[in-house]
């Protein structure tokens, strides 16, 4: 593990080589969920690296994991800030060009924003349970998470992975429950995504409906949708083999040059 200074903040990073690297394969950059971190991916990035022959880049965003703890309240545009300012700076420091972005939940939204709104080349986007707007069921699920944090062992479990679990949880939870966030919507970026997109979601997702995938499918140019049965908000945990197989096929398609890449 290494640390980089991104936007004057300490950020933890990890580079994982594939067991059998493919020549000139793009790096896959993993963008974690709203309560995730580098460590919370566990061995999944390495499994993806080995299945695709691509190097995996994993990091904890500001306010997560062993990166610098959050010192202020989040703003409604925090995912835009990450996608258009922090992530490009990290990619520059790591000397990564034309990555495949692999985002889960909030990380999926960040990947879509980066690919659709930014000016940097992206080879592909893989998203699991991404958000493109705020639904009533999302707010209800996040409100339930707050009760769990206050009344169960959720805080203790998060404390294993985050230096400041209170700042991590409340930073995420407060902004999603803020009335000012209710109108958050990133659909405007979707038509600007020029690279292939793989969008995966569980049919039993407790935080979002399939409407998110359908909107991505209608508005981005080159989209493959994967809907998984018996799967909740974390497809890589509930259906890991299905996710790994879909990702390996998607990366192979990119490597064969089918579909445009920005």
pLDDT for the residue numbered 260: 38
User: DSSP per residue over 48-84, as a string?
Assistant: HHHHHT--EEEEPPTTSTTSPPP-S---TTHHHHIII
pLDDT for the residue numbered 258: 45
CB 220 within 8 A of CB 171: no
Mean pLDDT per 10-residue section of the chain, whose length is 262 residues: 96 98 96 98 98 98 98 97 98 97 98 94 98 97 97 97 98 98 98 98 96 98 97 98 98 75 38
Range of the domain at 19: 2-255
Residue 160 lies in a domain: yes
SS3 101: strand
Residue 243 lies in a domain: yes
Q: CATH no. for residue 250?
A: 3.40.50.1820
Residue 112 lies in a domain: yes
pLDDT for the residue numbered 1: 86
The total of structural domains in the chain comes to 1
Rounded to whole angstroms, the Cα distance separating 89 from 234 reads 28
Residue 262 lies in a domain: no
Other CB atoms closer than 10 Å to residue 85's CB: what's the count? 13
Residue 148 lies in a domain: yes
Q: Which residues contact 49 (CB under 8 A, 6 or more apart)?
A: 16, 17, 18, 19, 28, 55, 56
Tell me the per-residue pLDDT of 117-161, one tens digit each, with 9 for 90 and over: 988 999 999 999 999 999 999 999 999 999 999 999 999 999 999
Residue 260 lies in a domain: no
pLDDT for the residue numbered 257: 74
Rounded to whole angstroms, the Cα distance separating 222 from 191 reads 10
């Amino acid at each position: 593990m290494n640390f980089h200074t991104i936007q004057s903040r300490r950020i933890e990073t990890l580079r994982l080589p594939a067991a059998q690297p493919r020549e000139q394969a793009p790096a896959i950059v993993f963008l974690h969920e709203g309560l995730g971190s580098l460590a919370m991916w566990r061995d999944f990035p390495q499994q993806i690296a080995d299945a695709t022959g691509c190097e995996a880049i994993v990091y904890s965003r500001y306010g997560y994991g062993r990166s610098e703890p959050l010192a202020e309240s989040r703003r409604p545009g925090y995912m835009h800030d990450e996608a258009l300012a922090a992530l490009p700076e990290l990619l520059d420091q790591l000397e990564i060009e034309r990555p495949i972005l692999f985002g889960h939940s909030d990380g999926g939204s960040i990947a879509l924003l980066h690919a659709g709104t930014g000016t940097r080349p992206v080879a592909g986007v893989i998203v699991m349970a991404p958000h493109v707007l705020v639904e009533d069921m999302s707010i209800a699920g996040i409100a339930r998470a707050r009760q769990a944090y206050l009344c169960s062992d959720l805080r203790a479990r998060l404390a294993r992975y985050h230096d400041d679990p209170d700042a991590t949880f409340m930073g995420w939870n407060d902004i999603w429950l803020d009335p000012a966030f209710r109108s958050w919507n990133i659909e405007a970026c979707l038509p600007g995504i020029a690279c292939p997109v793989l969008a995966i979601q569980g049919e039993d997702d407790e935080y979002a409906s399939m409407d998110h995938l359908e909107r991505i499918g209608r508005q981005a140019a080159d989209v493959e949708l994967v809907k998984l049965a018996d799967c909740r908000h974390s497809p890589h945990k509930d259906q890991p083999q299905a996710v790994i197989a879909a990702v390996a096929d998607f990366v192979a398609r990119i490597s064969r040059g089918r579909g445009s890449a920005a």
